[in-house]
């Protein structure tokens, strides 16, 4: 099978492509399948720019573990996809290389930060793509583009070679046209990696067998905080319709509460920028990437970083530096981590009460017009339903559940830690409806 | 100046002698070509992650236990954020409020903490004009930082603490602790206060001390400077001072104008380090006998005094050599004396070390045995020793061949006495007349005549008895 | 806890970012607006809650002291901005120290 780059025309979703790429092995579960890789994942062929001027043209001299595993399964690394710079964004408008466009409606964003990868699958360029998640950056674009997007449990998939944004939140995620394709891809990249000390030493089950689990064995929670009064009625209607059909198919539906959900955005927007401000300190023009000379070393650092980073990245680095700085650490970063524990505990409590998975809308709106959202905080609210799973580490998936005004929307399923099987089982069931 | 006292705390950084770096497999070899000992991880390439070296942990725990610290079952790594070209990540992985170990003690000085961290690379400023050259071979080498309480009250005490610290770390074999090679580095916090005052004065940080004697001099210089400030009614400014060994003075470090806000937070790429009690106990039980314990044992077991002990415990091979000799000869005192005297002198002259010294403990014991049983005199023994070093032969053999055994046979002795009497009639007459002091002289002459072979005890007896 | 212009200058300096004076008001405004939303956290009772540390669910795995050095697929010079004789070169620090930090 070959990547169909023509389908990407006019969408600005591909930053680099390798039409000559061939499988590295003669067989394997992904033999000859072309895969798109988000441009913040290190590949040996093609640059890894992270959507940033500071790494424009940088070709990594080593490869991410997830890429090695795909190649070992026979996949072809076909292209690198556009993204919000350093994964900071929810629309792929913050790329240094121009915004990406949603294949369903090119006047609209594909979501972000993994917008290019979501769009590549939606447009039919490739059947499978890798993205990354920190606050919802796979699930949200999956919902906007009408494809499946999966975020594994934190520690399920190696981060070695994923350019770090927020280390305690980042995970590599997967896009597919179907739940089955996504489950297969996740199967291949998941598992302990000795190069990543946060990767879990837990065996990887056969995810695709989850398709066989009868929906009548599932107890599905509907958390009230994800269905606020202000939720778009059309989205609410679609979600409740899905739940009704699942009930008709035999599932048990239960109303539950995750009381600290409303604190997720403030918690996320303290922890993520804080860790990012530290992770991005290595971009200093000394050993790789852009260097802008100035009068002396400090001038070089400042000129390089100011020229190399875009406005959103700059804003988050400043925010992150501030909340870690002397006098503010306790009130901001430490407090946010404590509240994070409460959010994690909410999920534990619900899953310990007999609920197998949670079902929620993935996003509060469908894809918005390019340029429509300019207020940073308003943009952050795109992550309102997705970022809790990143904070708590739980696995989550977005499955297409129809359209609103002709635009795709996603339904999200969240499962307990390392219970991707329950998540996939419910996803297969939703897909079958 | 005695109305003021010096208050000093020392921060010592020690490189652990692992084969590879703290967080990656790059080698730690010293003196390699620039930047060859680097990889994506220690170069801080995008996407690289740290994984901690198990042997570094073992050595760090060993050091902490040897310094009497409590090793914590859980410790946390933290990022210390600052920009410098030889710090590739823009942060150093270190430990902050949950260190590996706390609460030790060494020669009366409290040890606040021992924690693990990684070293930075090297910045070389004078190799190229207008540029600084960066070598990251050293970036990522595992270190422990040993922080003392501000218990030190004199430059001399500081030196003693450092020397003992170096010795202990050598004993437990965790580091080369070589200041010249940079595997041991010292920074000091110095303040002054009126003697008897309990509150601490403002402290300055003193850096760039590259030898123990440099540390002593720097501390004295900085103390004197602070006292001078205080005596004129001024206030000591908190700053970093650099020791200039060439000029013998401290001067303020030229602006590091940035405020040191390191923005510490727990390292999210490394889960907590968990060490079981069994792990720490195993390391404690495997420790070699430490200098203090050895000192106490030598005092008890061999009845040696402090001076003797200091010289023999100075290094492990010497102490081991001594013990073997003492056991083989059955006489610790003579072994100690001989080693402190003849053996150390021979080592110094020959320039070698005790492990390769040609006379091995058993052979020395044989010689000491001959001296002990009166078979050879002290003088003869020295001669035999020299020949043992030169030829590697046994003491007994040399004594026989060279005829160096003591002669106690009265006939032979009387013969020599007779010769001395003939050659020294005046002294003899005076001795006979009652000048007993001359007996010693006459014995000496008999020893000379006999080329050291005469048994001086018997000669004394014969002379006193009126031969 | 309002962020002042001086605060912005200070954190920009800590982060080695140069922020023009014209941009200061907008940046300070944006940061303050974002931080205002964080005030909700101040009201949360976290007594007895330990700060959620590095999210690794198991204790730290260690690695053996040896094995092969991780290789680079291309030489350092190929992606370095300025290297000479194997050294990375940077402009000499304007206020350089003779001391390694």
**Cβ atoms of residues B175 and B43 within 8 Å:** no
Nearest CA in chain B to A323: B263
pLDDT in tens, A256-312: 999 999 999 999 999 999 999 999 999 999 999 999 998 899 999 999 999 999 999
Domain assignment present for A276 = no
Distance CA(A54)–CA(A292), nearest Å, equals 10
Instruction: From A31, A47, A108, select the one nearest A82 (Cα to Cα).
Output: A47
Residue in the structure block whose two tokens are 């390089």 = A304
pLDDT in tens, B55-108: 999 999 999 999 999 999 999 999 999 999 999 999 999 999 999 999 999 999
**Residue boundaries of the structural domains of chain B:** 4-282, 289-402, 410-464
Instruction: From A400, C57, A402, select the one nearest A413 (Cα to Cα).
Output: A400
**How many of the other CB atoms lie within 10 Å of CB of A369?**
11
Residue of C8, C61, C91 with shortest CB distance to A296:
C91
Map residue B185 onto helix, strand or coil.
strand
Q: For residue B33, is pLDDT > 90?
A: yes
**pLDDT of C1:** 54
Which residues of A are the active-site residues?
A: 38, 113, 137
Residue of C55, C62, C90 with shortest CB distance to B57:
C62
Q: Where on the phi/psi map is residue A123: left (φ > 0), alpha (ψ -120 to 50), or beta?
A: alpha
Distance from the B229 Cα atom to the nearest Cα atom in chain A, whole angstroms: 30
Domain assignment present for A308 = no
Residue of C57, C90, C95 with shortest CB distance to B131:
C90
Q: Quickly list DSSP for A273-330.
A: HHHHHHHGGG-SSSSSS-----SSHHHHHHHHHHHHS-HHHHHHHHHHHHHHSTTTTI
Domain assignment present for A349 = no
Mutate one of A281, A283, A296 to test the B interface: name it (highest B CB count within 10 A). A281
**Cβ atoms of residues A125 and A79 within 8 Å:** yes
Map residue C13 onto helix, strand or coil.
helix
Q: Of chain B residues 429-448, which have a CB less than 8 A from chain C?
A: none
- Alpha carbon distances (Å) from A156 to A77, A153, A360, A388, B300: 22, 5, 22, 17, 60
Distance CA(A283)–CA(A301), nearest Å, equals 9
Residue B319 tokens read as 């102490």
Nearest CA in chain C to B77: C54
State the total domains in chain A: 1
Distance CA(B47)–CA(B235), nearest Å, equals 49
Mutate one of A201, A297, A334 to test the C interface: name it (highest C CB count within 10 A). A297
Map residue B384 onto helix, strand or coil.
helix
Name which residue leads in pLDDT, A244 or B253. Answer: A244
**pLDDT of B464:** 85
The torsion angle over the Cα atoms of residues A256, A262, A266 and A268, rounded to 10 degrees, is 20
Contacts of C57 in chain A (CB under 8 A): 155, 200, 393, 417
pLDDT in tens, A29-53: 999 999 999 999 999 999 999 999 9
The torsion angle over the Cα atoms of residues C5, C9, C14 and C17, rounded to 10 degrees, is 120
Contacts of C95 in chain B (CB under 8 A): 254-257
Q: Nearest 5°: CA angle at B354, between B351 and B356?
A: 80
> H/E element holding A219?
strand A219-223
Domain assignment present for A263 = no
CATH number of the domain bearing residue A191: 3.90.1300.10
Alpha carbon distance, N-terminus to C-terminus of chain B: 68
Residues in chain B: 467
Domain assignment present for A125 = yes
**Cβ atoms of residues A89 and A113 within 8 Å:** yes
Give the bridge partners for A148, in sequence order.
A176
**Cβ atoms of residues B142 and B19 within 8 Å:** no
Name which residue leads in pLDDT, B453 or A159. Answer: A159
Domain assignment present for A52 = yes
Q: Are residues B265 and A324, on separate chains, in Cβ contact within 8 Å?
A: yes
Q: Does B181 touch chain C (CB under 8 A)?
A: no
**pLDDT of A5:** 95
Q: Are residues C97 and B242, on separate chains, in Cβ contact within 8 Å?
A: yes
Distance CA(A29)–CA(A74), nearest Å, equals 7
Q: Quickly list DSSP for B118-137.
A: E---EEEEEEETTEEEEE-T
Distance CA(B219)–CA(B215), nearest Å, equals 6
- Alpha carbon distances (Å) from A177 to A126, A150, A368, B103: 9, 12, 22, 59
Domain assignment present for A287 = no
**pLDDT of C78:** 96
Q: Does C40 touch chain A (CB under 8 A)?
A: yes
Map residue C24 onto helix, strand or coil.
helix
Q: Quickly list DSSP for A326-394.
A: TTTTIIIIIHHHHHHHHHHHHHHHHHTTT--EEEEES-SSSPPBTT----HHHHHGGGTTTHHHHHHT-
Residue in the structure block whose two tokens are 């002397």 = A326
- Which chains pack against A, by 3+ Cβ pairs within 8 A? B, C
**Cβ atoms of residues A386 and A136 within 8 Å:** yes
**Which domain does A131 fall in, by range?**
5-217+357-432
Q: Are residues C93 and A297, on separate chains, in Cβ contact within 8 Å?
A: yes
pLDDT in tens, B125-165: 999 999 999 999 999 999 999 999 999 999 999 999 999 99
Distance CA(A108)–CA(A356), nearest Å, equals 35
Distance CA(C6)–CA(A300), nearest Å, equals 22
**pLDDT of B355:** 86
Map residue B170 onto helix, strand or coil.
helix
- Cis check for the bond before B308: say yes or no (omega within 30 of 0): no
Q: For residue B174, is pLDDT > 50?
A: yes
Ranges of residues in chain A with a pLDDT under 70 are: none
Residue in the structure block whose two tokens are 């056969």 = A206
Map residue B63 onto helix, strand or coil.
helix
**How many of the other CB atoms lie within 10 Å of CB of B346?**
17
Answer CATH for B410-464 from 3.40.190.80, 1.10.10.410, 3.40.50.300, 1.10.3720.10: 1.10.10.410
Q: Are residues B25 and C84, on separate chains, in Cβ contact within 8 Å?
A: no
Q: Does A419 touch chain B (CB under 8 A)?
A: no
Contacts of A286 in chain B (CB under 8 A): 85, 88, 134
Query: How many beta-carbon pairs under 8 angstroms link A with C?
Result: 174
Q: Are residues B133 and C96, on separate chains, in Cβ contact within 8 Å?
A: no
Contacts of B89 in chain A (CB under 8 A): 281-282
Q: For residue B255, is pLDDT > 70?
A: no
Distance from the A240 Cα atom to the nearest Cα atom in chain C, whole angstroms: 30
**pLDDT of B318:** 86
Domain assignment present for A241 = no
Distance CA(B35)–CA(B26), nearest Å, equals 10
């Amino acid at each position: 099978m070959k990547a169909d780059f023509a389908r990407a025309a006019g969408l600005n979703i591909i930053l680099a492509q390798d039409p000559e790429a061939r499988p590295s092995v003669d067989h394997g579960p992904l033999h000859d399948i072309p895969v798109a890789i988000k441009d913040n994942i290190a590949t040996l062929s093609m640059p890894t720019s992270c959507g940033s001027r500071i790494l424009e043209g940088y070709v990594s001299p080593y490869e991410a573990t997830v890429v090695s595993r795909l190649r070992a399964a026979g996949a072809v690394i076909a292209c690198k996809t556009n993204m919000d710079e350093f994964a900071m964004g929810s629309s792929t408008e913050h790329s240094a290389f121009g915004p990406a466009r949603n294949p369903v409606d090119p006047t609209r964003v594909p979501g972000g930060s993994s917008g290019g990868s979501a769009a590549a699958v939606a447009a039919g360029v490739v059947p499978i793509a890798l993205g990354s998640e920190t606050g919802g950056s796979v699930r949200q674009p999956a919902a906007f583009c009408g494809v499946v997007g999966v975020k594994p449990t934190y520690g399920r998939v190696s981060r070695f070679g994923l350019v770090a944004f927020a280390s305690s939140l980042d995970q590599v995620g997967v896009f597919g046209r179907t739940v089955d394709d996504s489950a297969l891809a996740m199967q291949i990249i998941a598992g302990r990696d000795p190069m990543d000390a946060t990767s879990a030493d837990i065996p990887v089950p056969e995810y695709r067998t989850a398709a066989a689990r009868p929906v009548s064995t599932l107890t599905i929670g509907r958390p009230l905080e994800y269905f606020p009064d202000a939720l778009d009625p059309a989205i609410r209607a679609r979600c409740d319709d899905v739940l009704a059909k699942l009930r008709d198919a035999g599932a048990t539906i239960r109303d539950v509460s995750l009381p600290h959900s409303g604190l997720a955005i403030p918690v996320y927007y303290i922890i993520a920028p804080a860790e990012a401000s530290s992770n991005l300190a290595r971009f200093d023009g000394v050993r790789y990437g852009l260097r802008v000379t100035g009068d002396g070393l400090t001038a070089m650092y400042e000129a390089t970083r100011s020229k190399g980073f875009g406005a959103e990245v700059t804003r988050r680095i400043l925010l992150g530096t501030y909340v870690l700085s002397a006098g503010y650490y306790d009130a901001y970063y430490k407090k946010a981590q404590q509240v994070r524990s409460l959010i994690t505990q909410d999920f534990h409590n619900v899953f310990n009460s007999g609920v197998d998975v949670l079902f929620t809308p993935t996003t509060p709106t469908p894809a918005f017009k390019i340029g429509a959202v300019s207020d940073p905080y308003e943009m952050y609210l795109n992550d309102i339903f997705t970022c809790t799973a990143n904070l708590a580490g739980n696995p989550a998936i977005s499955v297409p559940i129809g359209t609103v005004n002709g635009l795709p929307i996603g339904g999200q399923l969240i499962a307990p830690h390392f219970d991707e099987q329950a998540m996939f089982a419910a996803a297969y069931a939703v897909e079958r409806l | 100046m005695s109305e003021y006292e010096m208050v000093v705390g020392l921060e010592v950084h020690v490189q652990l002698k692992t084969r590879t770096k703290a967080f990656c497999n790059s080698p730690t070899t010293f003196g390699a070509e620039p930047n060859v000992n680097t990889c994506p991880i220690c170069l801080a390439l995008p996407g690289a992650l740290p994984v901690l070296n198990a042997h570094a942990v073992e050595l760090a725990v060993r050091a902490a236990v040897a310094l009497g610290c409590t090793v914590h079952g859980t410790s946390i790594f933290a990022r210390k954020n600052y920009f410098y070209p030889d710090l590739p990540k823009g942060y150093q992985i270190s430990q902050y409020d949950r260190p590996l170990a706390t609460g030790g003690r060494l020669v009366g000085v409290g040890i606040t903490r021992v924690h693990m961290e990684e070293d930075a690379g090297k910045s070389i400023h004078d190799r190229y004009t207008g540029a600084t050259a960066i070598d990251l071979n050293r970036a990522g080498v595992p270190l422990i930082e040993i922080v003392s309480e501000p218990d030190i009250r004199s430059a001399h005490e500081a030196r003693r603490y450092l020397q003992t610290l170096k010795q202990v770390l050598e004993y437990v074999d965790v580091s080369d602790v070589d200041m010249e090679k940079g595997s041991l580095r010292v920074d000091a916090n110095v303040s002054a206060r009126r003697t008897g005052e309990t509150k601490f004065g403002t402290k300055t940080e003193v850096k760039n001390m590259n030898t123990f004697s440099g540390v002593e001099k720097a501390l004295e210089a900085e103390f004197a400077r602070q006292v001078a400030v205080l005596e004129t009614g001024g206030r000591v400014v908190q700053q970093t001072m650099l020791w200039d060994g060439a000029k013998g003075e401290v001067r303020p470090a030229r602006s590091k104008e940035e405020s040191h806000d390191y923005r510490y937070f727990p390292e999210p790429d490394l889960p907590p380090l968990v060490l079981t009690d069994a792990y720490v106990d195993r390391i404690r039980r495997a420790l070699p006998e430490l200098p203090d314990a050895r000192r106490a044992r030598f005092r008890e077991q061999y009845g040696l005094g402090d001076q003797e002990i200091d010289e023999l415990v100075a290094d492990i091979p010497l102490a081991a050599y001594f013990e073997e000799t003492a056991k083989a000869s059955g006489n610790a005192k003579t072994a100690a004396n001989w080693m402190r005297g003849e053996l150390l002198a021979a080592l110094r002259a020959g320039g070698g070390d005790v492990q390769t010294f040609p006379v091995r403990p058993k052979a020395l014991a044989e010689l000491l045995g001959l001296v002990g049983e009166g078979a050879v005199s002290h003088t003869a023994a020295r001669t035999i020793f020299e020949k043992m070093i030169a030829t590697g032969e046994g003491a007994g053999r040399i004594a026989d061949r060279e005829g160096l055994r003591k002669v106690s046979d009265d006939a032979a002795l009387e013969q020599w006495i007779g010769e001395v009497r003939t050659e020294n009639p005046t002294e003899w007459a005076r001795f006979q007349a009652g000048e007993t002091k001359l007996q010693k002289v006459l014995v000496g002459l008999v020893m000379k005549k006999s080329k050291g072979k005469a048994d001086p005890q018997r000669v004394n007896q014969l002379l006193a008895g009126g031969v | 806890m309002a962020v002042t212009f001086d605060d912005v200058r200070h954190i920009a300096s800590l982060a080695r970012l140069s922020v023009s004076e014209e941009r200061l008001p907008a940046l300070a405004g944006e940061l303050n607006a974002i931080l205002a939303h964080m005030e909700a956290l101040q009201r949360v009772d976290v007594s007895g809650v330990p700060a959620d540390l590095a999210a690794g669910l198991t204790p730290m795995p260690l690695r053996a002291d040896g094995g092969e050095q991780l290789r680079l697929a291309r030489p350092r010079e190929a992606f370095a901005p300025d290297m000479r004789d194997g050294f990375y070169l940077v402009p000499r620090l304007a206020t350089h120290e003779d001391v390694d930090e």
